[in-house]
Amino acid sequence: MGECVFCKIASGEIPAKLLYQDDEFVAFADINPQAPVHLLVIPRTHYANIVEAQKADASLGGRMLSVVTRLAEEQGLSGQGFRVVCNTGNNGGQTVGHLHFHVLGGRFMSWPPG
């Protein structure tokens, strides 16, 4: 996956503001934040989206959500609330083809999305 920007962030080839990393996952600040806190959590392994990831590793999403909730608590989001988003495919508005969970918080967010 030589041209994947998130693979390059995971490997350190492209810099990012890293907030968490372990053997499996990396979390970093979104380059174009849509809220006071806007993080992305990715697996180091390249999966195009959540469907491909879950086919390959059925418990991956749960482990990713453990990282998400840990970060939300660390960032002080769990009291006021926050949003976890996994845009998938064209209709889902996915622009980077490497699975990622957005974690957004620090302001009220309306619903439904546009």
Q: Which residues pair with 39 in a beta bridge?
A: 29, 103
Q: Which residue has the tokens 């998400």?
A: 68
**Beta carbons within 8 Å of 23's beta carbon, 6+ residues apart:** 44
Would you tell me which residues interact with ligand 5GP (CB under 6 A)? 5, 14, 16, 28-32, 40, 87, 93-96
Q: What are the residues whose beta carbons fall under 8 Å from the beta carbon of 42, sequence distance 6 or more?
A: 6, 9, 10, 25, 26, 27, 98, 99, 100, 101
Q: For residues 67 and 79, which CB has a smaller minimum distance to ligand 5GP in the complex?
A: 67
| Residue 38 is among the residues annotated as catalytic for this protein | no
CB of 32 to ligand 5GP, least distance (A): 4
Residue closer to ligand 5GP (CB basis): 13 or 74: 13
CB of 44 to Zn ion, least distance (A): 9
- The amino acid present at 83, given as its one-letter code, is R
| CA–CA dist 76, 2 (Å, integer) | 35
Which one of Zn ion, ligand 5GP, none interacts with residue 16, CB within 5 to 8 A by kind? Answer: ligand 5GP
Residue 98 makes contact with Zn ion by CB under 5 A: yes
46 binds, among Zn ion, ligand 5GP, none (CB under 5 to 8 A by kind): Zn ion
Residue whose tokens read 């439904």 = 112
Active site residues: 100
